[in-house]
Every structure is written in structure tokens, then in C-alpha cells.
């Protein structure tokens, strides 16, 4: 490669690596560690060959990331540096040769400690007189984020040490393998995006602005270094780790003292072999000089210490048999195909099943039941079927077809135009009941005060309810049994349930969870259909002509109301005495009749919901986008593109003060 080719390649690599780095430190990984490492390695080699191409802002010269908005900054007295990565034993031996020269030069002993490289978020924790005073993320190595309250929620972080010592330690916050897999299974059921890997999950959890969210995540920590302490000095790194254990810290359990390079290489191999049996994820083995005085003499570069390297293991791929494809129904009805595999150990985890995402993914990769498939799990990335060994097919393999009915309840399963997901639309589907009931009772729906997620979960667990209509069958004794001395709670709950029977029709429509219909859509429908029966009978052709409804939503409504489960539920709600009609407003003030408002920017005296309610109570409606049909744009502080478009279209723009006069 000549200088011109090198320059061109550097210009390709740098923005790519900066993008990947930023995503990584934003807790959103878009490529595997291995792919990132190989690109960074390529850039380093080019810069080594052509030093004139090195710039200050090159990814090879920087460490860490920006500080997340909302956190206080913390300046680390001792920088939290990253490590130099190596990928072969030859590179480890080159590191050893450099250390031998330094040990001879400074007349110091040369030993190494080999540790597992935990794949998590590096943090520094400070103690004064044995009491935890501050916890911070690495950040850019020099400045991190103050996450003290979040650090305190980690059960393995001692709040008070066993000795009243002042000390700053460094550790890696992580989530164990089983905890990570359980988290992702729960998120799959909730139809939340799965965490790509345990590192992202741990980092995202520790960097929450709400410490209650952090506390709800299964975070753990391994301490691996003494950053500084005015109270004690150590001769070796290994002795410092033993002392940290004595203080009560959860120290990295894999720490192997090695006298020479042969022992180092064996330790690296041993750690590689034990990966499957570790209950935490690793992405390498760290080789550190043991003698602390030699470390001091050898020093550091701007980015990395010269006295340590990180040996990175290559990603693992394994072949296994795809025994079956089954469908899992999420709590909002999404039907996800899952590969059932002959169990295989990959990168430290036993994999017996994994998601196949959707119908298109299976077709694009020509994945068949009975295939020998290739599973990859680089580091702690979610295991994936990345290929099929077609040469091993014997003709018994079967193509998979997505079901047309829900495998749980038998209701129709529909894939809407433009979507990759197939969904069950049965409102009484057992797989969906928990989420359906939560939505039905929520504030914007039937607003049943006190009937929150925990109470609903317990009612279902005790088999006191199994569907929405069962709410109206609950007795005083049923509810009182949920709490000790629960009589007052039970009476309040019964009152709230009874009150919910008198909600307006739009609340009931919204509470049913019809796809694409929220509060706004429900209100729109009640302008045309004053009873539930009229809405249930509405033809598709009529619905699609309504403003803010359209083809997709109209199809969703008609499909929903033709399901036997829907008809059964509506009948049960009628029998329970739930209102099925529009409640006529007492107010005759319709000054905004036929007028459309768009709200933009921050309002000082109203919330968005309050302003919307005022407009609707006066006969008007709100829209989320500006068009020629818009009558008014109510613009608050920091109004953006909607205000600009309103000016371009000549739409009437009003301030909050003008709005207050209009509604007075």
C-alpha cells in the first residue's frame, strides 16, 4: 500500500470508527467487538507504517466518550486508561521482551498477573475513612460521570469497608450470563428491543438518570485495581488484590500469578478454555506487570499503560442442528419465530434456542427445520443463526410457514402492510392478557385508580381474573385478600371499578387496544359513531374516508371487531353495565368547532394534555402535523420545524398569551 492508498483508507476508517465508538459509549453496539477490533487494528498498522498520517483526533489517539447530559462531571485524579489490544501470542511475546528490557534496566523483578477481561463498564469508587463517598464512570478516562446513587444500588458494592481506610478503587460493572438472558427473555415478552449484549445492558443500566431503574437491573461488579490510597502502599498488584478482598470488595475471581511467559501463555489458554463455565462474560485476558515500582518506571502513553496488554479471543462459531421452529407470542401479540437447537456451547453460554426475528429473516437466509446451522456469539452478543450448512442437507429438511392463527388462542394472526411482524389480534388471548388489562385500567383508558401493574399481576397469579371482563366480577373479599388489613384498599378499588363503568365511549374504545387507535383516534371515531354498536357495524369503506383514520387503521378496526373474542368481550362488558355510548357534554360552547390546532414548543402555563383538553372541550381538535388545513399553530418556547412550516404555509400562529385570551 503506497501513501496515497493509505491516506484514502485512513479517511474511510476514521469516521467509521468514530461512529462505532460513539454508539458503543452510548450503550448501543452496532458491530461486534471483533469487527471493531479488526478495523482499529488496521488503522493502527497504517499509522505505524505512515506516522505522518497520525492526527490528534484519530480514534487511535483518543479514549472513552462524552459525558451524558444530566450527570455531574467527575475528574479522575488517576486516569482510567484503556488497554492495548493484542490478538496473537507473538504480540504477547513482543510485550514480554519490552518488559524484560525495562526490568533489567531498572533492576526490578518481572512477574505477571493474568486476569479475565470483564466485558462491562469501567468505574472508579472512592471511600473516605471506609465509607463510600462517590462512584464515577470512566468517561473519557480523565473526566467521568458522577453515578454515586446508582453505584450504591449494586448489592456487591460495600457501603462501608471492613477497615476505615481512604482508598479509590477501579472495577468493572457487569451483568452475569443468566441474569442477562433472563432480562432479554422478559424484554422479548414485553416486545421491548433486546439488549445486544451484556456490556450494553450494564452500561445503560448504570448510566440511568433515575436510580430506581438502575436498582431494578441485576448489576454486579468486580474490583480489579487500587487507583490510589494515602493510607497504604503495596509492593505488588497481586498483594493489593488480596487486600481488597480482605476489605470486603468483590474482586475479580480469576487472577493467575505467573513467573514467566510460558506460564502467561498457559494462563491465557486456561482462561479461554474456562469461558464456557464462567457465570460472567469476558472478551479477553489481561496481562499485567505485577511489580508496582516497575509499572511506575515503565509509565504510560496518553491512552494506554505500557505495563499491560489485553489478549482478545476471536469470535466463536459453532455448528448445531436446528431441531424445530416454534412461535412465541409476546404480551402485545407479536408472534416471533424461535429456533430450537441441539444445545451447543458458544462463547461461554449453552445455547438451546434463539430468535429468528421474523418471517423475512427466515426466507432471506433460507433457514429450514432440520438444517445444520452456524451459531455465532462474539463476546456476549445475542446468539444468532448466521448461516446454513447447505452441503449437509439430506432432503428431510422442511420449510417453515408463519402461522395464520395465534398458536396460543387460535385468533387470527395478521401481518400488516409495511410491517415485518405477524400479530395475534385476539383481545382475550392468554399471552396478551397481562398487558391488555394494564392498558384497559390505565389513566388514558378506563382510569381504574389503584389497579396498577403489581396488583394486576397478583390477581392473575391467584386466578382471580383471566381477562378484562373479570375486573367487573371482583368481590370485596377477592381484593381485600391481596393486602394485610386490606379492607379500605378493597373498598376504594371497588369504588374505582364501579366509577369506570361511566367513562365516555372514547375511553372504552381506547381501552380495547385496537392497533393504531389511541386516545386521539378514539375521540375521532366517537364524532362519527355515537355508540359501540354503530362502530362495530361500520364498514371499512366508510372508516377509511374519516380524517386521521385512513386505510391501515380502518382495516385494523374492521378486523378487530369481526373477531369472536372481541364480540364476546363487548357482550360481557355490556352485561357488567359498562357505558357503550357517547356522553353528551353539558357545555354548549363550541367556539372552536371545525378548527384544527397544532401545538409546538414548550408551553409555560399549560401542559400539552391540558391545552388539548381545552381545545377539544370547545369543539376543536388537535393534529400532530402542520398542513394547509391547519387553522392555528400554538407556538411555545423553542418551537422548531412545525413553526417554520406554519410560516411557509401562511398558517395563523398564536402565542400562549393569545391562546389564553381565545379560551377566556
SS3 at position 485? coil
> What count of other Cβ atoms lies within 10 Å of the Cβ of residue 495?
12
Q: What is the pLDDT of residues 96-148, one digit of tens each?
A: 999 999 999 999 999 999 999 998 899 999 999 999 999 999 988 899 999 99
Residues of the chain with CATH 2.40.50.140: 317-392
| pTM to 2 decimal places | 0.52
Q: Output the nine-digit C-alpha cell for 538.
A: 361500520
Q: Output the nine-digit C-alpha cell for 656.
A: 400562549
Instruction: Respond yes or no: is residue 117 known to be catalytic.
Output: yes
* Terminal-residue alpha carbon distance, the chain: 75
Residues of the chain with CATH 3.40.50.10190: 596-663
Task: Quote the Cα angle for 377-379-380, to 5°.
Answer: 75
CA gap 634, 652 in Å, rounded: 9
Domain 73-311 sits in which CATH superfamily? DNA ligase/mRNA capping enzyme (3.30.470.30)
Residues of the chain with CATH 3.30.470.30: 73-311
CA gap 509, 417 in Å, rounded: 23
Residues of the chain with CATH 1.10.150.20: 433-576
**451 alpha-carbon distance from chain centroid:** 27
CA gap 95, 99 in Å, rounded: 6
Whether 362 contacts 337, CB under 8 Å: yes
SS3 at position 329? strand
pLDDT at 586 over 70: no
Beta strand 413-415 pairing with 384-388: unpaired
Which residue among the candidates 117, 177, 288, 312 is catalytic per the annotation?
Answer: 117
Assigned fold of 3-61: Helix Hairpins (1.10.287)
Pick the CATH number of 317-392 from 2.40.100.10, 3.30.930.10, 2.40.50.140, 3.40.50.2000: 2.40.50.140
Q: What is the pLDDT of residues 329-370, one digit of tens each?
A: 887 788 999 999 999 877 656 788 888 988 999 999 999 999
Between 14-18, 115-119, 219-223, 260-264, the lowest mean confidence (pLDDT) is in: 14-18
CATH number for region 433-576: 1.10.150.20
Q: Output the nine-digit C-alpha cell for 167.
A: 482508598
Q: Which residue matches cell numbers 479488526?
A: 38
pLDDT at 524: 92
- Residues 6+ positions from 112 with CB-CB distance below 8 Å: 257, 258, 263, 264, 287, 288, 289, 290
pLDDT at 315: 73
pLDDT at 98: 96
CA gap 372, 424 in Å, rounded: 30
Q: What is the pLDDT of residues 228-254, one digit of tens each?
A: 999 999 999 999 999 999 999 999 999
User: What one-character-per-residue DSSP string does 230-292 give?
Assistant: SS---SBHHHHHHHHHHHT--B-S-EEEESSHHHHHHHHHHHHHHGGG-SS-EEEEEEEESBH
DSSP structural state of residue 160: B
Q: Looking at the domain covering 596-663, what would its CATH class be?
A: alpha beta
573: part of which helix (H) or strand (E)? helix 564-576
Amino acid at each position: 500500500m503506497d501513501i496515497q492508498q493509505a491516506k484514502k483508507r485512513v479517511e474511510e476508517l476514521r469516521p467509521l470508527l468514530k461512529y462505532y465508538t460513539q454508539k458503543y459509549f452510548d450503550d448501543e453496539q452496532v458491530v461486534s467487538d471483533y469487527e471493531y477490533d479488526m478495523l482499529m487494528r488496521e488503522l493502527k498498522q497504517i499509522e505505524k507504517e505512515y506516522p505522518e498520517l497520525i492526527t490528534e483526533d484519530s480514534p487511535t489517539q483518543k479514549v472513552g466518550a462524552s459525558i451524558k447530559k444530566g450527570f455531574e462531571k467527575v475528574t479522575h485524579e488517576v486516569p482510567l486508561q484503556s488497554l492495548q489490544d493484542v490478538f496473537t501470542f507473538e504480540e504477547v511475546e513482543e510485550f514480554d521482551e519490552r518488559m524484560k528490557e525495562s526490568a533489567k534496566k531498572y533492576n526490578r523483578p518481572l512477574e505477571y498477573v493474568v486476569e479475565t477481561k470483564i466485558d462491562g463498564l469501567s468505574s472508579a469508587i472512592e471511600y473516605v475513612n471506609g465509607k463510600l463517598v462517590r462512584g464515577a464512570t470512566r468517561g473519557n478516562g480523565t473526566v467521568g460521570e458522577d453515578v454515586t446513587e446508582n453505584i450504591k444500588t449494586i448489592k456487591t458494592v460495600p457501603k462501608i469497608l471492613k477497615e476505615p481506610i481512604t482508598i479509590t478503587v477501579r472495577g468493572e460493572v457487569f451483568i452475569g450470563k443468566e441474569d442477562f438472558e433472563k432480562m432479554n427473555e422478559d424484554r422479548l415478552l414485553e416486545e421491548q428491543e433486546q439488549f445486544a449484549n451484556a456490556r450494553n445492558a450494564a452500561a445503560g443500566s448504570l448510566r440511568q438518570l433515575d436510580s430506581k431503574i438502575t436498582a431494578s437491573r441485576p448489576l454486579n461488579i468486580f474490583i480489579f485495581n487500587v487507583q490510589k490510597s494515602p493510607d497504604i502502599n503495596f509492593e505488588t498488584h497481586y498483594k493489593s488484590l488480596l487486600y481488597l478482598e480482605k476489605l470486603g470488595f468483590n474482586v475479580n475471581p480469576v487472577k493467575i500469578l505467573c513467573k514467566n511467559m510460558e506460564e502467561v501463555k498457559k494462563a491465557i489458554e486456561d482462561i479461554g478454555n474456562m469461558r464456557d463455565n464462567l457465570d460472567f462474560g469476558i472478551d479477553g485476558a489481561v496481562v499485567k506487570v505485577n511489580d508496582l515500582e516497575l509499572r511506575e518506571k515503565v509509565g504510560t502513553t496518553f491512552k494506554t499503560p505500557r505495563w499491560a496488554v489485553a489478549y482478545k479471543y476471536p469470535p466463536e462459531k459453532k455448528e448445531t442442528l436446528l431441531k424445530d421452529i416454534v412461535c412465541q407470542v409476546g404480551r402485545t401479540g407479536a408472534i416471533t419465530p424461535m429456533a430450537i437447537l441441539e444445545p451447543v456451547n458458544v462463547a461461554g453460554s449453552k445455547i438451546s434456542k434463539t430468535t429468528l426475528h421474523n418471517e423475512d429473516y427466515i426466507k432471506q437466509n433460507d433457514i429450514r427445520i432440520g438444517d445444520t446451522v452456524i451459531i455465532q456469539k462474539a463476546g456476549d452478543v445475542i446468539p444468532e443463526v448466521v448461516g446454513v450448512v447447505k452441503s449437509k442437507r439430506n432432503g428431510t429438511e422442511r420449510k417453515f410457514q408463519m402461522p395464520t392463527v395465534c398458536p396460543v388462542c387460535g385468533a387470527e394472526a395478521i401481518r400488516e402492510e409495511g410491517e415485518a411482524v405477524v400479530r395475534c389480534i385476539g383481545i382475550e388471548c392468554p399471552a396478551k392478557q397481562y398487558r391488555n388489562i394494564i392498558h384497559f385500567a390505565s389513566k388514558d383508558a378506563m382510569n381504574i385508580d389503584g389497579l396498577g401493574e403489581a396488583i394486576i399481576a397478583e390477581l392473575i397469579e391467584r386466578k382471580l381474573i383471566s381477562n378484562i371482563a373479570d375486573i367487573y366480577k371482583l368481590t370485596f373479599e377477592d381484593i381485600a385478600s391481596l393486602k394485610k388489613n386490606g379492607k379500605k384498599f378493597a373498598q376504594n378499588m371497588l369504588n374505582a371499578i364501579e366509577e369506570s363503568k361511566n367513562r365516555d365511549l372514547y375511553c372504552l374504545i381506547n381501552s380495547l387496544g385496537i392497533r393504531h387507535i389511541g386516545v386521539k383516534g378514539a375521540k375521532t371515531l366517537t364524532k362519527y359513531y355515537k355508540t359501540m354498536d354503530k362502530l362495530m357495524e361500520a364498514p371499512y369503506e366508510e372508516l377509511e374516508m374519516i380524517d386521521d383514520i385512513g386505510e391501515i387503521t380502518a382495516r385494523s378496526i374492521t378486523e378487530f371487531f369481526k373477531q369472536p373474542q372481541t364480540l364476546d368481550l363487548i357482550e360481557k362488558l355490556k352485561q357488567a353495565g359498562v357505558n357503550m355510548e357517547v356522553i353528551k357534554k353539558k357545555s354548549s360552547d363550541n367556539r372552536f368547532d371545525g378548527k384544527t390546532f397544532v401545538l409546538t414548543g414548550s408551553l409555560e402555563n399549560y401542559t400539552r394534555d391540558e391545552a388539548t383538553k381545552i381545545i377539544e372541550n370547545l369543539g376543536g381538535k388537535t393534529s400532530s402535523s402542520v398542513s394547509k388545513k391547519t387553522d392555528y399553530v400554538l407556538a411555545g418556547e423553542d418551537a422548531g420545524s412545525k413553526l417554520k412550516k406554519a410560516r411557509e404555509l401562511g398558517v395563523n400562529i398564536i402565542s400562549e398569551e393569545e391562546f389564553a385570551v381565545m379560551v377566556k
